[in-house]
Amino acid sequence: MQREWHIGVIGGSGLYADIGLEDAQQIAVQSPFGVPSGPVTVGRIGPVRFSFIARHGEGHPLPPSSVNYRANVDVLKRCGVTDILAISAVGSLQEQFAPGDFVAVDQMIDRTTGRERSFFGPGLVAHVALADPVCHRLSELVGDGAERAGATVHRGGCYVAIEGPQFSTRAESRMYRQWGADVIGMTGMPEARLAREAELPYAMLAMVTDYDSWRDSEAGVEVSEVLAVVKANADLARGALQRLAQLLPAKRTPSPADTALDGALVTSPDKHDPALWARLDAVARRLLATPE
């Protein structure tokens, strides 16, 4: 069944609020998974609905490990989004991915620790497929949009997510290169995992801000340099969203991620935890009903 597009945007460093929404309204949305990073700004770009949340909160008070990724995805689902687009700052692990370029990420390696990685748990166990964590359709569309906005875009790239908040050591950076990673960041996971569990197609437009620490002849990463590149390229990121709205087909056809929970639930119905079931009223609303 065809649906209207409603894009949920999770903005990273330097993209806190203004993404050019028309008729914008800021609303507070509560989540049973805790406090999200902040309110959701809802509006539209042309005919397309968008809902925006700043990943680190307005003014960047939240470090990567303190972001409530579950609550952020949950509140976007409650707002009715059909797809999630993450805009993130990343470091480059490959020479050809230069600062100022954008990468339409297509694969991920998760090196984070200590973060809540699932909406499910004891009393309701689910195993979703994650071989391809990024939605190819949305990734292609936002890549096209970024190019039309004037950005240099690399189609495909492997993102390694680290815990942070420190940047990598030189040894770690060289190791990630050997693993085949192309860019490095601190927030893509468990964000992409949770989007899949919420049956929301996920894409990431990554803004390269620096070369990571693998270049022995250069100094390590400095946050001032990162933020300078983010500021210089924020308009390109906003422009990519404007062009994306123009490129989206009039009607949204189904995505495989829309039914990611089909066959994923393995807990016997008589063993379901009613409290957890109730918390999943948005994330798994397609499958779950209030238990008797």
Render pLDDT for 60-103 as a digit per residue (tens, 0 to 9).
Answer: 899 999 999 999 999 999 999 999 999 999 999 999 999 999 99
Domain regions of the chain by residue span: 6-279
Record the pTM. Answer: 0.94
Which value, to the nearest 10 degrees, does the dihedral of the CA atoms of residues 261, 266, 270, 275 take? -50
Residue among 74, 34, 32, 22 nearest 53 (CA) = 74
Is the confidence at residue 261, as pLDDT, over 60? Answer: yes
The arithmetic mean of pLDDT across residues 132-157, rounded, is 97
Mean model confidence pLDDT for the chain: 92
Cα 251 from Cα 5, distance rounded (Å): 7
Which runs of E-coded beta strand occur in the chain? 6-11, 22-27, 40-45, 48-54, 83-92, 102-104, 107-111, 153-155, 158-162, 183-185, 202-211
One-letter identity of residue 204: M
Q: How far apart are CA 234 and CA 64, in angstroms?
A: 20
Q: Hey, what are 117's tokens?
A: 């990685």
Residues that are catalytic: 210, 212
6-279 CATH = 3.40.50.1580
Question: Is residue 115 a contact partner of residue 69, using CB atoms and an 8 Å limit?
Answer: yes
pLDDT of residue 290: 43
pLDDT of residue 226: 74
Asked whether the predicted pLDDT for residue 180 surpasses 80, the reply is yes
1 pLDDT above the threshold of 70: no
Closest among 178, 204, 7, 170 to 88, alpha carbons compared: 204
- Enclosing H/E stretch for 196: helix 188-197
Q: In this structure, which amino acid lies at residue 73? A: V
| Local structure of 139: helix, strand or coil | helix
Token look-up 């990673």 returns 181
